Structure 1
Amino acid sequence: MGDVVGPPPSPAPNGGAAARAGGVQILPVPGLPEVTPGADLAALIAAAAPWLVDGDVLVVTSKIISKAEGMLVPAGDDREAAREAAIDAETTAVVATRGRTRIVRTYHGLVLASAGVDTSNVDQDTIALLPRDSDASARALRAGLRDSLGVDVGVLVSDTMGRPWRVGVADVAIGAAGVRPLRDLRGQRDGHGNDLAMTVVADADQLAAAAELVKGKSGGVPVAVVRGVRKLVDVGGDDGPGAAALVRVLDEDMFALGTAEARALGHREAVTLRRSIRHFTSQEVAPDAIARAVASAVTAPAPHHTTPWRFVHVASDDVRKRLLTVMRDAWAADLRGDGFDEAAIARRLKRGDLLWEAPALVVPALALDGAHTYPDARRATSERAMFQVAMGAGVQNFLVALAAEGIGSCWISSTMFCADLVRAELDLPDDWHPMGSVAVGYPAEDPRPRPPRDGSAFLVTR
């Protein structure tokens, strides 16, 4: 175990030599140039480490991933204010605060100080954010090295975190490809015959921390190789579940809500994250992300213990094209009936381009199968209004849940004006009432800061 195939890097005189423990080697990758936006990291690393072999684990500091992917924001005249604004933008919930220190949950699901926003190892007029999707970055780097060098390595993207109840920081894996991040020993027995009931080992984190021994925070070596752990690398296999498998789901997090102060602040921040986004990137939105947002949506209150929410993800391009075409034609006909000329109609129809351009389209619908029937119009109207209020709460939950994952959205009322056509195109039951459309996608640019609003103008006290 641990045999070197190919020439490893020359040992550095000051602690950079390979660290050995039980046949495991930790090898620095020196000589990488300064990484700039758009850089081909796979090519740079292949040139600096042509000695990589199958089964090696490449550990890459997230900072150079962020630089290559352009996850940088200008600091402007006030770097600290820009840093605080960046933390706000990356945060979905505040877990704890003390003085100026904030422990937050990011849209990635990570819980860490300052949302991973960093001002070290970047120009003084720049602030670095975490990669948008470190698992995807790891997968791309693994594929690039396979193409460049013909080797099958595991890749970890690492970042530094503090640890509850422990002093000091350590590197952990926030992205992974080709490496099994967890080793589940539950159901096995130790050497004394005791059942292992709760032991799940975070091997990816241990590799990330080990690699930091030869990288360091200020040594200019952002990449290291852990050799001798081939059993943890899926050589010839797929990329695996990624470091997402290391993120504890909220339902199992005993400390998810943090302090009372943080809970109150986090609730306010979750709501204000929701913005109407009208320009999206071309990045696809994973169906799982939409499913998670729907799961949040259906926690809204509803009358009579019913579940009146339906969310139709229009995933078929053909269905989407037909739906938006009939909606556009119906809108144009309504405008002509209202006396608008063709130029004015064209201007108004352009507002609907967002639904064509967004990477995903979701149509919320109100199902009235649980509504009570009343003989008089007053109670029937009130019954319908109750369900509409519940639908609005569900849609708001849906939009906020998307925003919490860094996904933008824009609710547009269009389907409400041609409900019969929408039901026909989407093959929906007659008692499903389309309640607008939601364009979904990753924002092409950061929304302008939302000025604080004074609620007193909308609050009436009797």
Structure 2
Amino acid sequence: MSPTALQVLPVTGLPEIEQGADLGALIAKAVELRPGDIVLVTSKVVSKAEGRLVRADDREAAIDAEAVRVVARRGRTRIVQNRQGLVMAAAGVDASNTAPGTVLLLPADPDGSAREIRARIHELTGRQVAVLLTDTFGRPWRNGLTDVAIGAAGLAVLEDHRGRVDSHGNTLGLTVTAVADELAAAGDLVKGKATGTPVAVVRGLGALVTAADGEGIRPLIRPIEDDMFRLGTSEAVREAVTQRRTVREFSDEPVHPEAVRRAVAAAVTAPAPHHTTPWRFVLLESERARTALLDAMLAAWRTDLRELDGWDEAKIARRTARGDVLRKAPYLVVPCLVAEGSHAYPDARRAAAEREMFTVAIGAAVQNLLVTLAGEGYGTAWVSSTMFCRDVVRETLALPAHWDPMGAVAVGRPAAAAPDRAARAVEPFIAVR
């Protein structure tokens, strides 16, 4: 789109909007629209016309009803994803400028509302305009509020500059402009927040107006899988913890070594007794190292099951097949307990308790490792098998004699999405005194 002059005009003289109001007709009467105009309508007046004013003595309950996902929470403030897919404060539930005991919800279908207003204006004037519904948003990392588009008709909400050449001859590779949001913010400059001017018109950008209603606002909403900041800090931690699963089938995608090192950095922040650091992590990044370890462990397991347990070959094969999750994983981590700094006690009771303290510490470290890897998008399976043949593991991996292998963690991208898991009620696991 070539540079062009434009005008942003407030639409004055509109009455107080009540339920059932014909917004398209009111706008067409209040301003002489031209073909190619872009009409910006504050969502609040659309909500009023559509009867979205509801009784709600408890605003929090109204937010709960409109929200589908909590993104971040601080005190009573919540950033949520609402039913329209928008991520915003309080799900767009507005208690300002409404009667006590009522709140105003966003339009149920902002794109549909924009299409209706556009069609009504065309019916009455014969002129083809675009319509945007706007609402006020805060923005991550930026103070202050601005208007953005939450509904659209007759306008492509994004302008893709990729493949174009800039003034220096450089080909643009990433730039996609949020045209609808730029228009919404421009309109807010003349509408204002307290002037009672809910509609503005942008004139001079007729090239943006399309004959068809278009896709609406959907292209502006980033898919959750592409959103690197989809959760606040505490929500991200809870999400990683609750979504962590034992994964037994991995894709062929390699594991990034730096991701594992970031997970280890989180692991070694775990609590430990006596100000010690009782964790070591052996990273098996080569297939050769993984195969050597697993072959040695398999031989040791087969000997024990045959000679100590008296199992036949068929039973041994079924039991050792459980280790396939380690063999098929593209990356293995062997956490080890190092009890340096532990206290020596002459009696067995206190000596056992001392060992248990260090065992709890390695468990906490491994949990940190697993949760951090889940946050990186990796699946894991913590398998105990190295604990049953520690001497073999130490010899194969050339580990010091005082390093105690505490299982092995298989790491990789899950081959398939994990099935939904019902949340566990916490009460059965709690005792209050």
Question: TM class by shorter-chain length?
Answer: 0.5 to 0.7
Pairs within 5 Å for 1:272-291: none
Does 92-101 or 237-246 show the bigger shift?
Answer: 92-101
Determine the C-alpha separation between the residues in 1 that align with 2:179 and 2:99. Answer: 33
Paired amino acid for 1:70: G
- For 2:164 and 2:201, locate their aligned partners in 1 and report how far apart those are by CA, in whole Å: 30
- Equivalents in 2 of 1:239, 1:102: separation in Å? 33
Aligned with 1:87 (options 38, 57, 63): 63
Q: Which residue number in structure 2 is paired with residue 183 of structure 1?
A: 159
Deviates more, 1:109-118 or 1:94-103: 94-103
Structure 1 counterpart of 2:93, from 117, 131, 135: 117
Distance 1:32 1:265, change over 3 A: farther
1:457 offset after TM fit, Å?
A: 5.9
Residue 151 of structure 1 aligns to a residue whose secondary structure is: coil
Are 2:37 and 1:56 equivalent residues in the alignment?
A: yes
* TM-fit CA distance, 1:71: 1.3
- 2:120 matches 1:144: yes
How far has the Cα of 1:257 moved from its partner? 3.2
1:387-445, CA deviations, whole angstroms, 9 ceiling, x for partnerless residues?
A: xxxxxxxxxxxxxxxxxxxxxxxxxxxxxxxxxxxxxxxxxxxxxxxxxxxxxxxxxxx
| One-letter code aligned to 2:160 | D
Q: Does the Cα contact within 8 Å between 2:39 and 2:130 map onto a contact in 1?
A: yes
Select which of 250, 254, 257 maps to 2:228: 254
Could you say if the C-alpha distance between residues 179 and 120 of structure 1 is closer, same or farther in structure 2, counting changes exceeding 3 Å? Answer: same
Q: CA separation in 2, counterparts of 1:122 and 1:148?
A: 31
Match status 1:456 vs 2:427: yes
Shift of residue 44, structure 1, vs aligned partner: 1.4
Match of 1:108 in 2: 84
The match for 1:38 is 20
* Rounded Cα–Cα distance in structure 2 between residues aligned with 1:267 and 1:247: 26
Distance 1:48 1:59 in 2: 14
Instruction: Report if the CA contact (8 A) 1:179-1:239 is conserved.
Output: yes
Whole-Å separation in 2 of the counterparts to 1:114 and 1:263 = 21
Paired residues of 2:73 and 2:232 also in contact (CA < 8 A): no
**CA distance 1:456–1:137, change in 2 (3 Å):** same
Superposition CA RMSD, Å: 2.8
- The CA deviation at 1:141 is 0.5
Residues 17, 45 of structure 2: 8 Å contact kept: yes
Q: What amino acid sits opposite 2:221 in the alignment?
A: V
Q: Distance in 1 between matches of 2:76 and 2:163?
A: 44
CA contact (8 A) 2:4 2:205 kept: no
Give distance in 2, aligned partners of 1:104 and 1:458: 29
Q: Which residue does 1:222 correspond to in 2?
A: 198
Instruction: Give percent identity, aligned residues only.
Output: 55
Report the counterpart of residue 311 of structure 2 in structure 1: none
Q: With the length of structure 2 as denominator, give the TM-score of the two structures.
A: 0.55
Question: Structure 1, residues 199-234: CA drift from partner, whole Å, max 9, x if none?
Answer: 000111000000001101110000000000101111
| Distance in 1 separating the partners of 2:130 and 2:249 | 53
More deviation, 39-48/131-140: 39-48
Name the larger-Rg structure: 2
Deviation at 1:104, TM superposition (A): 1.1
**Counterpart pick for 2:183 among 207, 216, 220:** 207
Contact in 2 for aligned 1:103/1:111 (Cα 8 Å): yes
Cα distance, 1:302 vs structure 2:
12
Rounded to whole Å, the distance in 1 between the matches of 2:91 and 2:239 is: 15
**Preserved contact between residue 94 and residue 262 of structure 1 (Cα < 8 Å):** no
Find the aligned partners of 1:210 and 1:165 in 2 and give their Cα distance. 21
Contact 1:94 1:263 in 2 (8 A): no
Query: Which among 56, 59, 62 is matched to residue 75 of structure 1?
Result: 56
Distance in 1 of aligned mates of 2:232 and 2:172: 30
For residues 22 and 135 of structure 2, the distance between their equivalents in structure 1, rounded to whole angstroms, comes to 20
Report if the CA contact (8 A) 1:95-1:266 is conserved: no
CA distance in structure 1 between the partners assigned to 2:175 and 2:223 by the alignment? 17
User: Secondary structure at 2:21's aligned position in 1?
Assistant: coil
Q: Which runs of 4+ in 1 moved over 4 A?
A: 265-268, 300-305, 457-460
Deviations 1:293-344 (A, max 9, x none): xxxxxxx999999xxxxxxxxxxxxxxxxxxxxxxxxxxxxxxxxxxxxxxx
SS in 2 for 1:198: coil
Shift of 1:181: 0.6
Deviations 1:231-275 (A, max 9, x none): 1111xx11011111110011111112332336648999xxxxxxx
Q: Which residue of structure 2 aligns with residue 168 of structure 1?
A: 144
Superposition deviation, residue 85 in structure 1: 0.8
